Amino acid sequence: MKKYWMLIKNTWDEALVYRLNFILWRVRVVIRFLITYFLWSSIYSGNQQFFGYSREMMLTYVLMVYLVSNFVFATRTQNIGSEINEGKLTNYLLKPFNYFISLGARDVSDKLLNFGCTVFEFAIIYLLFRPPFFFQENLGLIILAVVAFVGAVGVYFCISVLLGFLGFWTSEIWATRFIFIILLDFVAGNFFPIDILPKILSQILMLTPFPYMFYFPVKVYLGQLTTSATIQGFGVMAVWVFLLTKAMFLVWRKGLKVYSAEGR
């Protein structure tokens, strides 16, 4: 375990080498959040109900997505594709550690760093704007939300790794990731809760893995899902985690067979 701990430590140090760059990255994250926050805050300025959400619930949703997404999104797996294309994957294959655990270790570091910043930023935002925030008091829902949150990390990790593994077959890795990022904004609930979309559309989206990355955990926290919808959601999420994990290992094995360490 000591070697993985060193990976976590090194990834942390690496992120802080270019500090101004890191600070500017965090500034971007906060600005992007504030844009969404102010937009919804302005729409609800008259305290009306829109899309079945009160002002308090919508702003809590936006704030919770900010917290959740900063943890779920924080990853180093976006570099996998270019590491394969440039032959840098060889460095990992030659070292005496499990590739997937090393990916996990690097992700843990990135998540701790970014989530630490997020909590700090959240506190400042809360003190500055005093947004109406719904604190869930039902312990059962909080536990379920944490479980959904862990599942969200799994779903995002698998998809991100799979997108990186495309690098075994093509150098066109950024275009697909670009599409994925756009989809996250709109069909995963990053920008708005997907139940504001027409019902048939949101029902179809609930069968895809996207809403399980932000929308579902936050809705569980808010206690806005019926018991059957919660059970169904966890069921679909479990199926996706299982299928994506299977696919991840299968693609890895197939990819290694065609990997030529090009560029090394």
What residues line the site for another protein (CB under 8 A)? Answer: 18, 20-21, 24-25, 27-28, 31-32, 35, 38-39, 41-43, 45, 48, 50-51, 170-172, 174-176, 178-179, 182, 185-186, 191-192, 196-197
Question: How near is the Cβ of 138 to another protein at its closest, in Å?
Answer: 29
Question: How near is the Cβ of 38 to another protein at its closest, in Å?
Answer: 5
**199 or 253: CB nearest another protein:** 199
**98 or 208: CB nearest another protein:** 208
**53 or 221: CB nearest another protein:** 53
Q: Which two three-digit tokens encode residue 34?
A: 């504030």
**23 or 231: CB nearest another protein:** 23
CB distance 173 to 166 below 8 Å: yes
Question: How near is the Cβ of 140 to another protein at its closest, in Å?
Answer: 32
**45 or 227: CB nearest another protein:** 45
Q: Count the alpha carbons within 13 Å of 247 in the hemisphere toward its beta carbon.
A: 18
Question: How near is the Cβ of 165 to another protein at its closest, in Å?
Answer: 17
**49 or 91: CB nearest another protein:** 49
Question: How near is the Cβ of 53 to another protein at its closest, in Å?
Answer: 10
**119 or 179: CB nearest another protein:** 179
For residues 26 and 249, give the distance between their C-alpha atoms in angstroms, rounded to a whole number: 33
Question: How near is the Cβ of 26 to another protein at its closest, in Å?
Answer: 9
Q: Three-state SS across the chain? A: CHHHHHHHHHHHHHHCCCHHHHHHHHHHHHHHHHHHHHHHHHHCCCCCCECCECHHHHHHHHHHHHHHHHHHCCCCHHHHHHHHHCCCHHHHHHCCCCHHHHHHHHHHHHHHHHHHHHHHHHHHHHHHHCCCCCCCCCHHHHHHHHHHHHHHHHHHHHHHHHHHHHHHCCCCCHHHHHHHHHHHHHHCCCCCCHHHCCHHHHHHHCCCCHHHCCHHHHHHHHCCCCHHHHHHHHHHHHHHHHHHHHHHHHHHHHHHHHCCCCCC
Question: How near is the Cβ of 178 to another protein at its closest, in Å?
Answer: 5
